């Protein structure tokens, strides 16, 4: 089984969010299952620098323009990688999608058109004739045109498109269709037109042989008007070929028993190790010394993540003795809100604006509870990291959060976390207070941690589901 996995980022080559973790963990698990999987992504400077040897360069061309394929290995996995080297489009450091001011690059449509064209050409054996895919697996809007382009090839490989977050649709002005030289016949709702704009994501939704998303609940949710981002009709029409497969995590990298980023390692609930990590986390983010619980948050500071619901509840929860450790970046007014909270509650609210991989591990291990009050969450990874690290998550029961976190109040024997029943600050605060009572009164707190740590969050089960789906596409 030969699979080309097309993505705009993959850890540790390039990472802005959860897609990069998936593009590392799933191909690694598939490679271990003896799938001949290869990645294709842009040749950003950091990606080229981090590629594992042997590194080779192949000069070729696509659509009459020169193109270099930089090949190597995804570090630590043995998975082959092709980097699409087109310097005018991809030789940019920093965030791959936006300028230093946080504004999308003005040529993003051309950049990801090019990536999608290269992915389709590679899958079909045009750019590297010694290898041809059985399945092209495209991910999110940045590679969503690849299934469309693949249809131009005779005896084409099968195609699969995965939605990691439907809110990011790759929207561009109507004029983009002509600027990219796309067929004018695609300017219709059954093509790429979306309420007067061009939507890259529709290339995958309409033209891939099958569509997946990253949890069964999210697969159901996005077929409704509330969660469908204007695409619910398209998704309902594809319901027979729409599958929800929960993401896994890299259990080698995210393992509290071996994690090099921790002050103390542990393989089961361990109050002493937790205290050591809590103290180290407090030192990193500026929390006061103390034995009170720490509540962690890692994520993009956007309304999707519910940070605007948490800000009004902070004063009430700090009064209850809770301390907070925030790691993330995003919308300026939410970053400012966290800075203000840290100034108002010195020693009780610690904020690190940006992203630091080592600190992310320490937040998971050093927090006593982990907060994810998301308005929607296709799958979520941090709740899985939290469970693995004995840090019960507090979540809104949406998408993958509903599929992986069981409220201990509803099922005391199987519960591994807490559900926020309503999307408002009062319900969030009340749920955190309920969780604090469990922590303070030790209501089988060790058992709650143990149930979370005992779960299987590896990619193995998910990878097996993908292999089955690949096989069904090839055989259909």
The helix or strand, by DSSP H or E, that contains position 54, with its residue range, turns out to be strand 52-62
**From the centroid of its chain, how far is CA 221?**
18
Where are the CATH 3.40.50.2000 domain residues in the chain? 2-248+459-475, 271-454
Burial group, residue 375, by CB count within 10 angstroms (0-12, 13-18, 19+)? middle
CATH of 271-454, one of 3.40.50.2000, 3.40.50.300, 3.20.20.10, 2.160.10.10: 3.40.50.2000
CB 75 within 8 A of CB 47: no
Asked whether 379 and 214 are in contact (CB, 8 A), the reply is yes
| pLDDT tens by residue, the chain, 476 residues | 999 999 999 999 999 888 999 999 999 999 999 999 999 999 999 999 999 999 999 999 999 999 999 999 999 999 999 999 999 999 998 899 999 888 999 999 999 999 999 999 999 999 999 999 999 999 999 999 999 999 999 999 999 999 999 999 999 999 999 999 999 999 999 999 999 999 999 999 999 999 999 999 999 999 999 999 999 999 999 999 999 999 999 898 899 999 999 999 999 999 999 999 999 999 999 999 877 899 999 998 999 999 999 999 999 999 999 999 999 999 999 999 999 999 999 999 999 999 898 999 999 999 999 999 999 999 999 999 999 999 999 999 999 999 999 999 999 999 999 999 999 999 999 999 999 999 988 768 999 999 999 999 999 999 999 999 999 999 98
CATH number for the domain running over 2-248+459-475: 3.40.50.2000
36: left (phi over 0), alpha (psi -120 to 50) or beta: beta
How far apart are alpha carbons 460 and 14 in whole angstroms? 23
Tokens of 324: 């907070």
Cα–Cα distance for residue pair 187/119, rounded to 1 Å: 23
CA dist., res. 213 & res. 80, Å (int):
24
CA angle 366, 408, 440 (to 5 degrees): 50
* Structure-derived torsion over alpha carbons of residues 1, 152, 148, 217, reported in degrees to the nearest 10: -30
Residue 45 DSSP SS3 = helix
């Amino acid at each position: 089984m030969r699979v080309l996995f097309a993505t705009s980022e993959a850890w540790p080559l390039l990472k802005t969010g959860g897609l990069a973790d998936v593009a590392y963990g799933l191909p690694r698990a598939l490679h271990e299952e003896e799938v001949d999987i290869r990645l294709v992504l842009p040749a950003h400077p950091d990606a080229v620098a981090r590629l594992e040897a042997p590194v080779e360069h192949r000069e070729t061309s696509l659509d009459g323009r020169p193109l270099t394929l930089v090949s190597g290995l995804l570090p630590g996995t043995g998975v082959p990688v092709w980097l699409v080297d087109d310097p005018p489009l991809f030789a940019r450091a920093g965030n791959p999608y936006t300028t230093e001011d946080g504004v999308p690059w003005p040529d993003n449509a051309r950049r990801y058109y090019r990536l999608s064209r290269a992915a389709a050409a590679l899958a079909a054996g045009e750019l590297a004739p010694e290898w041809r895919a059985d399945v092209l697996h495209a991910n999110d809007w940045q590679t969503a045109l690849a299934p469309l382009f693949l249809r131009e090839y005779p005896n084409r490989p099968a195609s699969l498109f995965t939605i990691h977050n439907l809110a990011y649709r790759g929207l561009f002005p109507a004029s983009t269709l002509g600027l990219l030289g796309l067929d004018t016949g695609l300017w219709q709702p059954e093509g790429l037109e979306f309420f007067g704009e061009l939507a890259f994501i529709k290339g995958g939704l309409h033209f891939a042989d099958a569509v997946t998303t990253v949890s069964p609940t999210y697969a159901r949710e996005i077929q409704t008007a509330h969660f469908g981002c204007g695409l619910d009709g398209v998704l309902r029409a594809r319901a027979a070929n729409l599958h929800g497969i929960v993401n896994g995590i890299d259990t080698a990298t995210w393992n509290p028993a071996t994690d090099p980023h921790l002050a103390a390692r542990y393989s089961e609930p361990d109050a002493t190790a937790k205290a050591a990590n809590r103290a180290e986390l407090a030192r990193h983010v500026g929390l006061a010394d103390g034995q009170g619980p720490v509540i962690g948050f890692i994520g993009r500071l956007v309304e999707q993540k519910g940070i605007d619901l948490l800000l009004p509840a902070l004063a009430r929860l700090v009064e209850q003795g809770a301390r907070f450790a925030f790691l993330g970046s995003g919308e300026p007014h939410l970053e400012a809100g966290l800075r203000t909270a840290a100034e108002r509650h010195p020693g009780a609210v610690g904020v690190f604006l940006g992203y630091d991989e080592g600190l992310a591990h320490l937040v998971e291990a050093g927090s006593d509870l982990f907060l994810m009050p998301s308005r929607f969450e296709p799958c979520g990874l941090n709740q899985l990291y939290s469970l693995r690290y004995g840090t019960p998550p507090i979540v809104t029961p949406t998408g993958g959060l509903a599929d992986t976190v069981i409220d201990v109040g509803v099922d005391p024997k199987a519960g591994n976390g807490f559900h926020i029943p309503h999307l408002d600050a009062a319900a969030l605060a009340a749920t955190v207070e309920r969780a604090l009572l469990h922590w303070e009164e030790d209501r089988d707190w060790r058992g709650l941690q143990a149930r979370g740590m005992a779960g299987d969050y590896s990619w193995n089960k998910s990878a097996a589901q993908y292999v089955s789906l690949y096989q069904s596409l090839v055989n259909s």
